[in-house]
Structure 1
Amino acid sequence: MVNENNEETVEEVSATPKRKSKSAKPKYDAIQELAPTLADLRQYIFEVVTPEYDDSGNRIIKKVVASSSGIAAGLLGYMPNQISINSQSDYTGE
């Protein structure tokens, strides 16, 4: 190719960076933030079954870090009687 001054130019071609097929999903759907005075309060990882359904008709399951199942429900915008807990394990601050 030649530019307006009749000088030869070389086209630079750069490789397009590869796209990741999946976007990084957050590890937890909600985390209870504790005040510094409550930093020693024990927290758990709850696997919460919500009353909502996904496209295939299965209940949506979310992971929440909270000090109780009632707080886990509230963080997701539900009342405690609207959810069920699949599992509960200790949260180590990972």
Structure 2
Amino acid sequence: MSGVPGGARVSTNPLRQLTIDQLRQRTSLKWREYPDCRALGLGDDPAAVFLDGGRVALNSGPAFGTGGDGHVRLNLATAPELITDAVRRMATAVAG
């Protein structure tokens, strides 16, 4: 894969790049997102709160190094309905 301006990456394999392009066009989903949850007051590891209170398993931000406190890693490579349900359950966890 080679880099292009703006940090995007393009595959040198035409079939792989076609697949990536089709996924982006059809899903409009990102592969990962790192939400900043510090304003929610959930502590350094909000992933534990979302798992216990909303039954949503996220990656813990601190596991990704310096600056990860208060963040979670959310994989968005799934159906929009599942993301909607997960976010609803996360909101329930925050509301207590």
TM-score by length of 2: 0.24
Q: Which structure is higher in strand share?
A: 1
Between Structure 1 and Structure 2, whose CA radius of gyration is higher? 1
TM-score by length of 1: 0.24
